[in-house]
Structure 1
């Protein structure tokens, strides 16, 4: 049964439990749970029976930057309309300009990563790049951490976030590097600036449907430090450019601001030769779930380094930023990022609707 709903200003969304067409042998575990004819979401987080979705403004997405889908409740901008109503000239620090990621912390708060620039490749606007924390008990923004010009540089695209105790780590896909943030104080610093482990390499194109993704300049798209995860024991940060491969570095060195830059750089070591991925999620046993873009697949890298394919389906074309819930279920937003107009001379090749799937991992 499909229930048609409205998201904010004309974002049509439907909720279903439908196995995708042409699925692989594992397909009974793959379910389509939501679709949209206007909102292009690349991020999802789930809290109890509430689903949060978000996506970048530059994709041509219409509707709110951040929306909530809840059982029996009409989808709506979250946490309110004001935060989703940014326009040029408005207060850059009090509204979402361009959300690229959302993530839950260990206390159940929802964090939003705002790149601060409404344009792909654009410089962050003054006070635009920020982290926004929403208290999900009150459904209110209770903290905003500005990522000032010393953290979000000209050309920066602050991409994603992971937490580790009192610290948070963020990747910069535009200016290669890692941002280390003291969550308590809101103070941060950039590390591994232009390090090879954080920089997209030549010869590793992002390929979907057999074709390399090309940026607005016509050249193969390069995405610098993008996916990242913290090991379950908190000892390692694993990261890499979207194109791979992945490296790792001890968090004890990242968290210590007195460690010289050259010592930190020397401590980075190879970790996994993963292909271009749309996003990842890590389980408590260290299993890394990732979206293999070239194969329209969801795969898992086991702690021993072996890799298994969970499902392959053309419906999973550019899965981005999976969310792994407490029951071992993966939530898979499918924004089809390579099909947006930006990468096709302004003419969108999106195949509507945009979908959200779930996959039982059986872990």
Structure 2
């Protein structure tokens, strides 16, 4: 073999070796792919996804499925270049920079914990939206989320305490409690009326000066709901707020006679607030693929996601625009009966 041929052979081998090594080097990207779907009026692990106690419920059929996005990668488990390249050529997945999912100052565990909290909050909000749709009254309460270590409330107020009053004034919302505390001079005492379990207590807490000089006690609060019956939602290892609309529809379906689906397999997505407003979500393309693979023929789509959804919708999946919970219920009624308007996603 000539020297030139040997040089080319060695160079080619080195290029190939470097290419192989490079293909398995970790890269700061995340692969998003269609995740599992769960029928909110069905079961997971032989348990109902939505269980309602102490209230009459009605049988239903079909599916009202939430859809999810699975991800591969992240700061603690980075994908290699070869995996990223496969994702870039697969139309059913997306490859995005790592920082779009994991902020640089947050760990993967922190993201997972936040997703769990968002899922829990979305279940409560979805229940509130469903009860509003059905005109079933419930109460809003102010609860203690946590106390700040070393502040006066630490050791006096506890997480999950319901704050009924502050200085004898009804605690109608979080702002009322906060403003009443701030109205004090640092060093003065605030009297909280709380419910702890089944016990009613009056707890006096001294104030201290905050960074801006205002009085504070070191308590973080959140608004919570007290429903007239128990609604338990079981979805296993699923996080985030984007299943709110489908939870609400599942609750409405179970609490009303007849079948909201008309026996059809329907999937959808969207955040929801207590008034029933539907908000946009991420990963719409992957969620539609998951919906189609689950057998769904109709996909409830947040209005703000319609344009993107129209560009990526799989064949045979009908997109129905969902602006509000009430609108979604009306659209499903129209699909079932053949009467009325079914709002569609439109380009624009």
Normalised by the length of structure 1, the TM-score is: 0.26
Larger relative contact order, structure 1 or 2 (CA cutoff 8 Å, min sep 6): 2
Q: Which has the higher strand share?
A: 1
Q: Answer 1 or 2: which has greater helix percent.
A: 2
